Structure 1
Amino acid sequence: MGVDVKICGLSTPEAVKAAAAGGARYIGFVFFPPSPRFVKPAVAAELGGYANGDIVRVGLTVDADDAALADIVAHARIDRLQLHGRESPERVAEVRRRFGLPVIKALPIAGPDDVAAARTYEEVADMLLFDARPPAGADRPGGNALSFDWRLLAAATWRRPWMLAGGLTAANLAEAVRQSGAGAVDVSSGVEDQPGVKNVLKIQEFLQAAGRC
């Protein structure tokens, strides 16, 4: 595959099976109740069983407290935590240390200042994820089908691996990778019929497009 892919917001066995069969490197489960993609930790554990052992299972949280994180780590059978809220670098380091799992830190990008601000997370996260900054009043920090200027990332070099997210589809993936230089991408809304409803054919098409990048 040309770029590694994370299919996020999975909630059905059919979607998990499609991601696994198509060669996804990561699958993501959302543990943020306001999201239409929300699943409980026990459900995520069951869904993760439909994927092969090589896939990395990621649990997405938003400003979760220690009790919520402990419940996820104990019952969801995930391999990594994705912190998609306003967690400070200190909080990211604390979560990584306390729960013993690699951490992906999602960072909102709208302009050059956001790219510069992301540098403060390089030493505390295992991977960075660059997503479009949500619009004012949005009730969730990601999965909003919005993209940003991918060229903002083109000239940057990072000490950690990173992933591109935000408004990606099978149709625009090649251009997004070309402009940003991404080696890994994350998709959720771009493989859905409506928020929270994954389309197996769109998952297959996205993974095929990734293989051509």
Structure 2
Amino acid sequence: MKVKVCGLREPENITEISQLDVDYLGMIFHPDSPRFAGNADLGEWIEAKQKLLKKKELFGVFVNAEIDYVLNTVHDYHLDWVQLHGDESAGYCQELKLLWSVNTLRKASICKAFPITEGFDFRRTNDYVSSCSLFVFDTGGHRTNGGTGKKWDWSKLAEYRGPIPFLLSGGIGPEDAEAIRKIDHPQLRGVDLNSRFETEPGKKDVPLLSRFLHELHA
């Protein structure tokens, strides 16, 4: 079970989280987010701490961003993954993939997030199969792009029969480890954790995360 901790932006907190049994470290590059990580100092810190972070994969979360902004951020922050959390089309994903295939820029794998509501049709993911290596299934039915701290009906996962693995996201909290362990789906790669493990926006509660990880991997 892979674990992604998202919404990180403070070097000291990132250092502490990187010592835990997590696989992915996520930063949000959407200017309207209270967890916005887009500052040059953080990029320079990541550049200097490659040895510390080399065992973790870095995610950058974008919402309807210009492609040039995505490309430059991948380069500046040494991102391994681009998570598209807005209304990005399959064509947008294909364009990103094509650009990385024909130039020498730092390349990242593409992850597309989908907002899951009661009426969501998982066949919507089909158009993204050729360009994306991972999906995120997050809480839908709200005006903002992610970060609601609310769960959706995980039983709906039974409707997903696609070939792309996914991260479960949306309101996962410290009390959910046992329920997550009981999910039996062949494409469940892991979980995406954020606001329910914070002391304030952008700062994670390390002891709380540590206890949850122990229970999740029990």
Q: TM-score category by the smaller chain? A: 0.7 to 0.9
1:111 aligns with 2:118: yes
* Aligned 1:23-34 pairs, distance under 5 A: 23-34=21-32
Unaligned runs of 5+ in 1: none
| 2:129 counterpart residue number | 122
1:205 to 200, 211, 215: 211
Kindly name which structure, 1 or 2, has the bigger radius of gyration based on alpha carbons.
2
If the length of structure 2 is used for normalisation, what is the TM-score? 0.86
| 1:97 counterpart residue number | 98
Q: Which amino acid aligns with 1:167?
A: G
Cα shift at 1:124: 1.9
Q: Which amino acid aligns with 1:200?
A: V
The 1:204/1:14 distance shift into structure 2, 3 A limit, reads farther
The 1:34/1:93 distance shift into structure 2, 3 A limit, reads same
Q: Which amino acid aligns with 1:207?
A: L
* Structure 1 stretches of 4+ moved >6 Å: none
Kept in 2, the 8 Å contact 1:81–1:104? The answer is yes
* Aligned 1:143-182 pairs, distance under 5 A: 143-179=147-183, 181=185, 182=188
Cα shift at 1:25: 0.7
Deviates more, 1:43-52 or 1:121-130: 43-52
1:74 aligns with 2:75: yes
| 2:45 counterpart residue number | 46
Higher relative contact order (CA 8 A, sep 6+): 1
The 1:202/1:47 distance shift into structure 2, 3 A limit, reads farther
Deviates more, 1:142-151 or 1:152-161: 152-161
Cα shift at 1:24: 0.6
The 1:31/1:45 distance shift into structure 2, 3 A limit, reads farther
Deviates more, 1:83-92 or 1:181-190: 181-190
C-alpha separation between the residues in 2 aligned to 1:164 and 1:28?
A: 14
Kept in 1, the 8 Å contact 2:13–2:203? The answer is no
Q: Which amino acid aligns with 1:52?
A: L
Q: Which amino acid aligns with 1:109?
A: I
C-alpha separation between the residues in 1 aligned to 2:208 and 2:115?
A: 25
Cα shift at 1:97: 2.2
Cα shift at 1:74: 2.3
C-alpha separation between the residues in 1 aligned to 2:184 and 2:127?
A: 20
Cα shift at 1:44: 4.2
Unaligned runs of 5+ in 2: 101-106
Kept in 2, the 8 Å contact 1:112–1:152? The answer is no
If the length of structure 1 is used for normalisation, what is the TM-score? 0.87
Q: Which amino acid aligns with 1:127?
A: L
Sequence identity (%):
27
The 1:149/1:102 distance shift into structure 2, 3 A limit, reads same
Cα shift at 1:17: 2.4
The 1:35/1:154 distance shift into structure 2, 3 A limit, reads same
Aligned-residue Cα RMSD (Å) equals 2.1
Count of aligned residue pairs for this structure pair = 207
| 1:4 counterpart residue number | 2
